[in-house]
Amino acid sequence: MSTPTLASASREHFVDLDVPMWCWLVLAAAIVAMLAVDLFRHRDDHEPSPREALVESAIWIGCGLGFSVFVALQFGGAAFGEYISGYLIEKSLSVDNVFVWSMLFTSMAIPLKYQHRVLFWGIFGALALRAAFVILGSALIATFWWVLLIFGVFLIFTGVKIFRHRDAGETEGAKHGLGLLRRLLPVTDQFDGHKFFTRHNARRAATPLLASLVVIEVTDIIFAVDSVPAILAVSHESFLVLSSNAFAILGLRAMYFLLANAKEQFFYLSHALAGILIFVGAKMTVAHWVHVNTYLSLGVIVLMLAAAIVLSVRRNAAPRVAEDPPC
């Protein structure tokens, strides 16, 4: 068996890996194992406690960081830097998913104990969708360098949009997805345990859980259009992009139950997400002529996230000015 080569800088200054088949098998086995364990743990449709969500979030993050050690040992420091950059970008942009999911579940009155099941299958579909997006995006960039310009400008535009509160647009897209489902088959307002289909008036009908799953998948398509080009701005290697994306997405369920109701506690986070998109968009736009060091990019991303968290905490701790009493 040939020994895998270490990561080497390509002519675009991104790593170019010779990834052996067994590495892909390790990645696939890790993803399948984690999905199986997660599904088994939540087989009883219970409501996750904050402590449980915190522990599970820590475990998922540990798995993602653990795979980065595998990447570093197998392919070297440059590949490690691109993996971590992609992981942080996807993880930070996914916070937006969490808040939108919370709003959608609330508007559709989905009980908390069933939300994990919906998110499990939603994220399972998201993994397949992101894989297709990554493969297509990587192929386009490899064939047409000017696609970088299109992706870069799009990310900058999206970053500016986030400053104007993007949630409304995603909710509108979700409504269209729900409308399409209602055209394809009957949708009942009645739950039947955690089933996605039931019998209603002697007809097979979708339960609200399937309706919410369709909505989740529609919103993920919208988010993928943003996040996949953002990760391609820091790495063009499919193995690194897919693995960083997958490990970030797999932890979203635990993050949702931990942060779903904490949007107001992270007031400046949306500003950081917008800044990250604008930064990686600018980086991607000039990538054909100017290379920005991977670890410099990583430092900028970490700095933006840290600043958003610190400023949000300080804002929450600051005494609020009392409103004038009504006359």
Percentage with pLDDT > 90 across the chain: 16
* Residue 59 token pair: 């475990």
* Residue-level pLDDT at 272: 83
Give the mean pLDDT of 221-228.
76
Q: Which of 89-103, 124-138, 158-172, 311-325 has the highest mean pLDDT?
A: 124-138
* Residue-level pLDDT at 79: 93
**Using N-to-C axis directions, what is the helix angle for 208-232 and 77-107, rounded to 10°?**
150
* Residue-level pLDDT at 256: 83
Cα–Cα dist 259/36, whole Å: 24
Band the pLDDT of 14: cuts 50, 70, 90: confident
Q: Are 235 and 241 in contact (CB under 8 A)?
A: yes
Is 204 part of any domain? no
Residue 226: which H helix or E strand, with range?
helix 208-232
Is 4 part of any domain? no
Could you give the 3-state DSSP secondary structure of residue 9? strand
Using alpha carbons, select from 273, 266, 271 the residue that is nearest to residue 93.
273
Cα–Cα dist 68/52, whole Å: 25
* Residue-level pLDDT at 2: 42
Give per-residue pLDDT as tens, 180-204. Answer: 666 666 777 777 777 888 877 767 8
What type of residue is 14?
F
Tokens 């949009």 sit on residue: 161
* Residue-level pLDDT at 12: 54
Give the mean pLDDT of 254-271.
76
Question: In terms of residue numbers, what domain contains 165?
Answer: 40-182+209-314
Tokens 């937006």 sit on residue: 96
Is 327 part of any domain? no
The total of structural domains in the chain comes to 1
Cα–Cα dist 126/105, whole Å: 18
Q: What is the DSSP string of 248-288?
A: HHHTHHHHHHHHTT-GGGGTTHHHHHHHHHHHHHHHHHTTT
* Residue-level pLDDT at 3: 44
Task: Please provide residue 14's backbone torsions phi and psi, each rounded to the nearest 5 degrees.
Answer: -100, 155
Cα–Cα dist 209/217, whole Å: 12
Q: Please state whether beta strands 15-16 and 203-206 pair in parallel, antiparallel, or not at all (unpaired).
A: unpaired
More confident residue, 166 or 228: 228
Is 187 part of any domain? no
Give per-residue pLDDT as tens, 69-89. Answer: 999 999 999 999 999 999 998
Give the mean pLDDT of 153-167.
74
Task: Please provide residue 200's backbone torsions phi and psi, each rounded to the nearest 5 degrees.
Answer: -135, 120
* Residue-level pLDDT at 171: 52
* Residue 313 token pair: 């905490």
Q: Which residues have CB under 8 Å from 181's CB, separation 6+? A: 187, 206, 210, 211, 214
* Residue-level pLDDT at 83: 95
Give the mean pLDDT of 157-182.
62
Give the mean pLDDT of 80-106.
83
Is 199 part of any domain? no
Is 131 part of any domain? yes
Q: Per-residue pLDDT for 259 more than 80?
A: no
Is 145 part of any domain? yes
Q: Per-residue pLDDT for 324 more than 60?
A: no
Q: Are 212 and 118 in contact (CB under 8 A)?
A: yes
Give the mean pLDDT of 79-100.
85
Band the pLDDT of 262: cuts 50, 70, 90: low
Is 101 part of any domain? yes
* Residue-level pLDDT at 265: 74
Q: Per-residue pLDDT for 6 more than 50?
A: no
Say what the pTM is. 0.78
Q: Per-residue pLDDT for 47 more than 80?
A: no
Band the pLDDT of 261: cuts 50, 70, 90: low
Q: Per-residue pLDDT for 247 more than 80?
A: yes
Percentage with pLDDT > 70 across the chain: 85
